[in-house]
Structure 1
Amino acid sequence: MSRMVRKTLTRPRTALLAACALIATAAGTAVAADADLQAAAPGCEVDYQVQGDWGSGFTGAVTVTNTGDPVTSWDLKWSFSGNQQVSNGWNAELSQSGTDVTASNVSYNGALGTGASASFGFNANYSGGNALPDTFTLNGVVCGDDGGGDPPDPTDPPGDKVDNPYAGAKVYVNPDWQAKAAAEPGGTAISNQPTGVWMDRIAAIEGTPGARGLRAHLDTALGQKGDGELVVQVVIYNLPGRDCAALASNGELGPEELGRYKNEYIDPIAEILDDEKYADLRIVTTVEIDSLPNLVTNTGSRPTATPECDVMLANGNYVKGVGYALGKLGAIDNVYNYVDAGHHGWIGWEDNFAASATVFYEAANAEGAKPSDVHGFITNTANYSALKEENFSITDSVGGTSVRESSWVDWNKSVDELSFAQSFRQQLVSTGFDSGIGMLIDTSRNGWGGTERPTGPGAMTNVDTYVDGGRYDRRIHVGNWCNQSGAGLGERPQAAPESGIDAYVWMKPPGESDGSSKEIPNNEGKGFDRMCDPTYEGNPRNGHSMSGALPDAPVSGHWFSAQFQELLRNAHPAL
């Protein structure tokens, strides 16, 4: 895959970078054209981008920044030079008369303080040419251009970003995890493998007992880099109301603490990553696991809904928080944002598939973010879905009954993580993301090896015996996620293993617990989730099945020796 395609289709044009000019009356008196701008010093910046162009239509992404005094509502207007016709939009009310287009704020993004931005997007159809608009007005005030000069070359990659950051690069080995792994019997077999560095609370930025802080990790990475390229993997994981459907990974910030998330968490991380000292590192971020899909699957009238997820849907702080993180971190030349995209056993069904992609795109246009701030997506983070189920496929049938009708597959669109990642990538592109986005798959715990690994298809007695007898994933239910019994290390980290896949990674460090088997008081904001209790008989999210969790597990993120040893024993490929 090549992001040169994306660069050709994505045509950034910062159309307005100068202060807006006041309209003059016939008498020469300067007046504002809208009540919101009276007595205000007007000013604006507009970033208009074509994110995808398929010859008969395109996706537009627009960010307007108010550089003048605050306004309480806004209208942004421009004219197309051809026959472009807007068909639908999001995060703004769009109307069109002839070639003239008006984008007006919606209820939640009308107020723009000085320096504040609003982003929206739209799809449009056209034939012939698709020239970029030359002139915009904000609340009736004509905005100037950027002072002249040539527009940026659309084929130039932004900053120092490369197509696949993992290609031709080593990946950072976290010495804190390495020491724990090497201290385990047999652990030296994998202790030199790269794993993610988790920023799971504000204190993690500066460092906590037994774990160095972000800057210390980056300093260590410079020592590992040598003369070649080095990727450092950082997990951004501290949203307000974090993980609204699972108590074990709840966080320190309350549902309404978006301000703290921005000011005390994302901003300090961005400041460190933007230090020129680290400019030669390739920094890959995994942005907020287990967040956005909850807004699709665990809200409203769904049987899996929780009050906590309904709150996060209503207040918009998951979307806003992810958007803010993408915008701040994506603006750094050597940072590559990969948004967490759940896994096939979560959003692989028709009801969840396209709807999740839409939510991701909404977040990529929120709080100043742009879809171009997303370099790709990561699936199966900290989960157990098998990479490839080789003994059956989604198109198989037994006695005229489709594999999709089996109890295990349960009408899912995919049977394993690789097929899901590749098909979901296409869905994301069709939703509006760049055609060059790449996928990561976390393979740290999805090997499912050992003596119980099937060596061939199951019996053809019926579709359930066929699937259950041949499947590598030995969980009781695909919805089980906590410290799963029988799991093993999966494919070792590697770059570009399959079409559309930038890398297999170990983003979740093997041996770190998913959650405690019983309630354990802690100062990290992490609760007790019954899905981590081996005696738990389940809920609608796992078909009321046993949890399949290991006993005697510590709080999430803490070292779990028994799990580490099991992962070693059941590794596939074997160690």
Structure 2
Amino acid sequence: MNRRRSALLAAIALVAAATGTATAVTAGDAGTAAVPCSVDYKLQNQWSTGFTAAVTVTNHGPAKTGWTVKWSYAGNQKVTQGWNAGITQNGATVTAASEAYNGSLATGASVGFGFNASHSGPNALPTAFTLNGVTCDVDDGGGDPGGPTDPPGQGSRVDNPYAGAKVYVNPEWSRKAAAEPGGGRIARQPTGVWLDRTAAINGVNGGMGLRDHLDEALRQKGSGELVVQLVIYNLPGRDCAALASNGELGPTEIDTYKTRYIDPIKTILADSKYAGLRIVTTVEIDSLPNLVTNTGGRPTATPQCDVMKANGNYVKGVGYALNKLGDVPNVYNYVDAGHHGWIGWDDNFGPSADVFEQAATAEGATVADVHGFIANTANYSALKEEHFRIGDTVAGRSVRESKWVDWNRYTDELTFAQAFRDKLVSVGFDSRIGMLIDTSRNGWGGAGRPAGPGAGTDVDSYVNGGRIDRRVHIGNWCNQSGAGLGERPQAAPAAGIDAYVWMKPPGESDGSSKEIPNNEGKGFDRMCDPTYEGNPRNGHNKSGALPDAPLSGHWFSAQFQELMKNAHPAL
């Protein structure tokens, strides 16, 4: 069984009851279809003492306002933790009851829930399920093209897709980099391909579309293994707290997102022609953490984020993307996990993990559709703060009390990513998920890089004098002055980290310095204006942005030169 790949169970024939039928139809179900319900029971992961399972129930009978699913084990399986249902066990019999938020089950609708369980010896599969007392058929899960396991040589998932593989070099970015003075030094580095609007699937203004990139990836692959990095980035009401990266779809256009964006991408990725590629998808940058940090009356809340939390379309969109793309055997889904300067605080850390689990089990997705998470995408947080640690004290005061750290639990992206990985496992994700860290712009080298700790006279001098990250405030995110290229892309650089990646192509703008009319759905955010005095999200500090920047995603030569000048390790 492949790691993190749901092993679909073959259809289990139900033993005919004394009435001679394989399903029971109660008086309340008179006139409904012969099969009133069906159940798809999937093992997501299994080890010597336990397993993780996902159950999807489809109602073929009358609509229900509450549901209860029951089954029995033949062995000593014991459920230890569940989600999306209230799960209890009495002896061998397990009962899963609907929660307040998912009790409505229309005719033809499905609902999913999952659980962890312990066992010893054989893990015998359940042979019968009931929905509200009515016996269900057992679904063979035929919607998954991989079958019981991924076909050998046809995209079978590996533990770390980056291990032993080259990574795709985007020729469009490479040409722009090579055209810059000195750019040839990094023009062959692999970067992400951003599908930031529907038109990007077929190519914008004569540029390469998704199939073009995949065809070029096959050419680059040769006889070895190759990873292609795609950024899935087009949610309805996208980036509700950052106008520069708003998208083409309005807050309610979830159906358009599904049918005109995700479905066509899935169709292309599922083409058997590309089965030999390892396709890494970075799923929906930034939006999910906004549901935690920028809603509900917080000082940083925005009306747009409150709308997206209320309508649920971020959660639904991410769940749908994970479900559909996770069906493709050679796709590795990594969900965006913000960065330490955003969700590293106690109030944000656990709630963010909970929202990610909610999204990963929405719209038919399961946690098995998530191969890992990515931190610091398109951001500037230092990989490692070398001159101070979160446990340091100065003159009796903790580093956490400094204005820069501001009671955060983490000082840099590596410690955050490793800790957040553990938290994600604790809320139900696979214990072997891997993390990616975007190091494309967090090097902070050059003349401003400190050589050692700051003065030990007080905690602020100590931190500010020694910190690698030289931003005015950790909340500054747009085209940062003084930033540099970070660690070069590499596989398995640290415990729990699948790779350092350059998911954000260096030289592509974060947003325009002034309002620029456009047909790309991109707004103007004052955080990209170098004259801006700030807001609650950056402590009312100057924005730190470079001047004369173009729209987000457009080439910004001055930024590219800045990143090369301040690269660490140096070019």
Q: How does 1:255-274 map onto structure 2 within 5 Å?
A: 255-274=251-270
Deviation at 1:451, TM superposition (A): 0.6
- 8 Å CA contact 1:93–1:106 kept in 2: the answer is no
Residue 121 of structure 1: how far off its partner (Å) = 2.6
From 434, 437, 440, the counterpart of 1:444? 440
1:401 corresponds to 2:397: yes
Between the aligned partners of 1:30 and 1:496, the Cα distance in structure 2 is: 51
- Give the match's secondary structure for 1:119: strand
Distance 1:34 1:471 in 2: 71
Distance (whole Å) between structure 1 residues aligned to residue 376 and residue 87 of structure 2 = 37
Match of 1:551 in 2: 547
Query: How is 1:397-436 mapped onto 2 (pairs within 5 angstroms)?
Result: 397-436=393-432
* 1:471 paired residue number: 467
Query: How has the CA–CA distance of structure 1 residues 159 and 565 changed in structure 2, closer, same or farther, with 3 Å as cutoff?
Result: closer
Q: CA deviation at 1:76?
A: 2.1
- Cα deviation per residue 1:288-308 (whole Å; 9 max; x = unaligned)? 010111111111132111121
Distance 1:332 1:268 in 2: 13
Displacement after TM superposition at 1:107 (Å): 3.8
Partner of residue 97 from structure 2, selected from 91, 96, 103: 103
Deviations 1:36-89 (A, max 9, x none): 67423425241243657795x7654322345x4674454322124467665664
Aligned partner (choices 286, 289, 309) of residue 290 of structure 1: 286
Q: Aligned partners of 1:422, 1:182: CA distance in 2, in Å?
A: 35
Alpha-carbon distance in 2 for matches of 1:445, 1:123? 39
Give me the whole-angstrom Cα distance separating, in 1, the residues matched to 2:155 and 2:19.
Answer: 44
Secondary structure in structure 1 of the residue aligned to 2:478: coil
Deviations 1:243-297 (A, max 9, x none): 1111111111111111111100000000000001111111100000101111111
Q: Does 1:121 align with 2:114?
A: yes
Query: Deviation of residue 563 (structure 1)?
Result: 0.6
Q: How many angstroms apart in 2 are the aligned matches of 1:400 and 1:81?
A: 60
- 1:464 and 1:210 mapped to 2: Cα distance? 52
Deviation at 1:134, TM superposition (A): 2.9
* Mapped contact 2:12–2:127 kept (Cα < 8 A): no
Q: Please say which of residues 71-80 and 82-91 is displaced more in the overlay.
A: 82-91
Report the residue type matching 1:351 in the other structure: D
* 2:131 aligned to which of 138, 151, 170: 138
* Compared CA separation, residues 367 and 393, structure 1 to 2 (3 A): same
Which of 521, 537, 541 does residue 541 from structure 1 map onto? Answer: 537
CA contact (8 A) 2:435 2:497 kept: yes
Deviations, residues 392-448 of structure 1 (Å, cap 9, x unaligned): 111111112111111111111111111111111111111111111111110000000
Q: What TM-score do the two structures reach when normalised by structure 1?
A: 0.90
8 Å CA contact 2:217, 2:228 repeated in 1: yes
**Aligned counterpart for 2:362 among listed residues 363, 366, 371:** 366
2:134 maps to amino acid: V
Contact 2:112 2:361 in 1 (8 A): yes
Deviation at residue 100 of structure 1 after TM alignment: 3.8
After superposition, what is the alpha-carbon deviation per residue over 1:9-49, rounded to whole angstroms, capped at 9, x for unaligned?
Answer: x884537567x8998869x9987337467423425241243
Deviations 1:159-195 (A, max 9, x none): 6111111111111111111111111111111111111
Aligned-partner SS, 1:179: helix
C-alpha distance 158-369 of structure 1, shift in aligned 2 (>3 A): farther
Cα distance in structure 2, aligned partners of 1:353 and 1:370 = 21
Q: Distance in 2 between matches of 1:30 and 1:431?
A: 36
Distance in 2 between residues matched to 1:70 and 1:322, nearest whole Å: 29
Contact kept, 8 Å, 1:23 with 1:32, in 2: the verdict is no
Q: Which runs of 5+ in 2 are unaligned?
A: 141-146
Query: 2:22 & 2:482 partners in 1: Cα distance?
Result: 78
1:572 aligns with 2:565: no
| Letter of the 1:75 counterpart | T
2:160 is aligned with 1:164? yes
How many angstroms does 1:311 deviate by? Answer: 1.5
Distance 1:34 1:536, change over 3 A: farther
After superposition, the C-alpha distances for 1:463-520 in whole angstroms (9 at most, x for unaligned) are: 1101100011001111111111110001111111111111111000001110111111
Listed one character per residue, the Cα deviations across residues 194-231 of structure 1 (whole Å, up to 9, x for unaligned) are 11000000011011015311011111111111111111
Q: Give the match for residue 323 of structure 2.
A: 327
Q: Distance in 2 between matches of 1:537 and 1:54?
A: 57
Q: Secondary structure of the equivalent of 2:287?
A: coil
SS at match of 1:292: helix
1:158: Cα distance to partner? 10
Counterpart position of 1:49 = 43
Question: Where does residue 526 of structure 2 map in the other structure?
Answer: 530
Instruction: Find 1:209's aligned residue among 176, 181, 205.
Output: 205
Q: Does the 8 A contact of 2:16 with 2:22 survive in 1?
A: no
User: 1:314–1:95: structure 2 CA closer, same or farther, 3 Å change rule?
Assistant: farther
Matched, 1:462 2:455: no
Match of 2:288, SS state, is coil
2:143 match: none
Distance 1:288 1:265 in 2: 12
Counterpart code for 1:103: A
Structure 1 residue 246 and structure 2 residue 242: aligned? yes
Please point out which of 340, 351, 371 is paired with 2:347.
351
Counterpart contact for 2:63–2:106, Cα < 8 Å: yes
> Given residue 130 of structure 2, which amino acid in structure 1 is its aligned partner?
T
Contact 1:23–1:141, Cα closer than 8 Å, also in 2: no
CA deviation map 1:305-358 (0-9, x unaligned): 112111111111111111111111111111111111000001111111121111
1:281 aligns with 2:289: no
> Which residue does 1:14 correspond to in 2?
9
Shift of 1:104: 2.7
CA RMSD of the aligned region, Å?
A: 2.9
Q: How does 1:23-34 map to 2 (within 5 A)?
A: 32-33=25-26
- The number of residues matched between the two structures is 561
Q: Of the candidates 372, 377, 380, which is equivalent to residue 384 of structure 1?
A: 380
Contact 2:24 2:134 in 1 (8 A): no
Q: Among residues 508, 522, 525, which one is paired with 2:504 in the alignment?
A: 508
The change in CA–CA distance for 1:195 and 1:111 in structure 2 (over 3 A counts) is: same
Per the alignment, in what secondary structure is the counterpart of residue 113 of structure 2?
strand
Whole-angstrom distance in 2 between the partners of 1:300 and 1:36: 43
1:219 aligned partner, one-letter code: D
Corresponding letter in the other structure for 2:324: K
- The reply to whether residue 63 of structure 1 matches residue 50 of structure 2 is no
Q: Residue 85 of structure 2: which of 56, 81, 92 is its match?
A: 92
Q: Amino acid of the residue matched to residue 63 of structure 1?
A: T
Q: In the alignment, what sits opposite 2:144?
A: none
**In structure 2, C-alpha distance between the alignment counterparts of 1:41 and 1:258, rounded to whole Å:** 33
Are the counterparts in 2 of residues 52 and 433 from structure 1 also a CA contact under 8 Å?
no
2:111 partner amino acid: A
What is the rounded CA distance, in whole Å, between the counterparts of 1:318 and 1:183 in structure 2?
38
Alpha-carbon distance in structure 2 between the residues aligned to 1:354 and 1:61: 23
Task: Measure, in 1, the Cα distance between the counterparts of 2:107 and 2:274.
Answer: 32
322-331 or 79-88: bigger deviation: 79-88
1:318 and 2:311 are equivalent in the alignment: no
Is the CA contact (8 Å cut-off) linking 1:488 and 1:571 kept in structure 2? yes
Inter-partner Cα distance in structure 2 for 1:360 and 1:531: 27
Check the 8 A contact 1:84/1:127 in 2, yes or no. yes
Give the aligned partner of residue 302 of structure 2.
306
